[in-house]
A and B are shown apart, each in its own frame.
Chain A
Amino acid sequence: MPVITVTQINRYIGSILKNDRNIQGIMVRGEISNYVKHFRSGHVYFTLKDSESAIKAVMFANSAARLKFAPEDGMAVIVSGSIGVYERDGAYQLYVNDIIPEGAGAQGAALEQLKRKLQKEGIFDTAHKRPIPAMPKKIGAVTSLSGAAVRDIINVLSRRYPLGEVYAVNALVQGEGAPESVCRGILRAEAAGCDVIIVGRGGGSSEDLSAFNTEKVAYAIYNCKVPVISAVGHETDFTIADLAADLRAPTPSAAAELAAPDISMLYEKIGILERRYEKAALAVLDRSTDRFVALNARLAAQSPENRLKLTGEKLSALNKRRDAAFLRYMDRLERQLGEKAARLDSLSPLKVLSRGYSLVYKEDSLLSSSESLKKGDKVKITFGSGGAEAEITDKW
């Protein structure tokens, strides 16, 4: 035979208990004793007993924090939870997630059961919750038309949201036939074209609220095609209608405030839109002006006037080039002339005379031969510098 450990046996027993549906998710009636709340962890420990037997119970801090009353020794209660094993001590105990005072009667337990059933059926699913329209046209109010709730709703809406229409459907909110009346009211408001419906009543005792704790009303709210705001004036406890509704309001006035925006906000919104389109239109205008200026500049560049100016500029540049070219040409001519003059100068007869040659004139004509000369002729002689008169004494 195999040997197993204590831990193994406790863990095994624990798994058996966990898989036994008869002791999981159960409700147990009994009386609280040895109630202790651990001051640091917030966990709650007690013994649940009846006349013959007792069971240890533990409620962890997160569940204990949700309790709407303070349990105490001797209190008759209905506890919901599951049986499990506390491995360290090898003890089985009741793990509690909710405690309902038995004072609330069997009715309380039944309500708890109904809540759990509807929860399982998905009636409270957050995924099913629809948003409230931003600007509803027709707001349904399903409540007693002789009660304070409808006056509160109308007062709030006429002050805050006079744009809308209130479609108020009379419904019995307590007593016999109340659930059916509320369901019919929801259908009537839906059929009238409401785009959001407030269902509720002013405060009342928990018996007065029983219509809002019925399966019928829960389904009517769940199946309604438009969003439903619950307004069951009861701050502390959530009714089933509250859980099924798309939005829960603590009072009918609060429901009216949640159903529609305040008109001052609408004025503000228009103001914001006005500023935005002013700004956007100005921006478009600015951009158009810039584009116009740019195009205008390009157009001006192509104007005949401007082209004439450009041609003029080109012409004067050409003129300048021509003048400069002419001056350069003249310079060159001058230089060439200078050189030629220098060469010419070297060929001048005066230069020849300075080298020792002389010129002989007879009666002012230059002689290049002695042929016309006779003895006794007078001649003039020009030297490189100075001159003389001479008489021919002989010739050859």
Chain B
Amino acid sequence: MTRLGQIVSELEKGDIPLEKAVELYGEGVKLSAECRKQLDSAQIKITEDDGKAPSEE
């Protein structure tokens, strides 16, 4: 997501060669798809800690 933001601001600077823009755009498309996939498949992970001091165990 951070990288996606970077890509956007780099593209928005505008004064970049076309090849670079195409490359960034491609990366953006890939990244946003990845982000969406991550969100779609996100599954919360829960870890429990009994909180006991080592001497109590």
Binding site for B on A (CB under 8 A): 135, 142, 145, 154, 157-158, 161-171, 181, 184-185, 188-189, 192, 263, 266-267, 269-270, 273-274, 276-278, 280-281, 283-285, 287-288
Contacts and interface: CB of A to CB of B under 8 A. Distances in A.
A277 B7 contact: yes
Residue from B21, B43, B51 having most chain A Cβ neighbours under 10 A: B51
Contact of B1 (A169, A185, A269): A269
Contact of A167 (B4, B39, B49): B49
Contacts of B12: 276, 280
Interface of B: 1, 4-5, 7-8, 11-12, 14, 16, 18, 21-22, 24-25, 28, 32, 35-36, 38-39, 42-53
Contacts of A277: 4, 7-8, 11, 24-25, 28
B21 A168 contact: no
Nearest to B48: A168
Majority DSSP secondary structure for residues of A touching B = helix
Contacts of A288: 18, 21
Contacts of B49: 167-170, 185, 188-189, 192
Contacts of B16: 284
B5 A273 contact: yes
Chain A CB within 10 Å — which of B14, B16, B39 has the most? B39
Contact of A135 (B1, B8, B43, B53): B1
Nearest to B46: A166
A154 B46 CA distance: 8
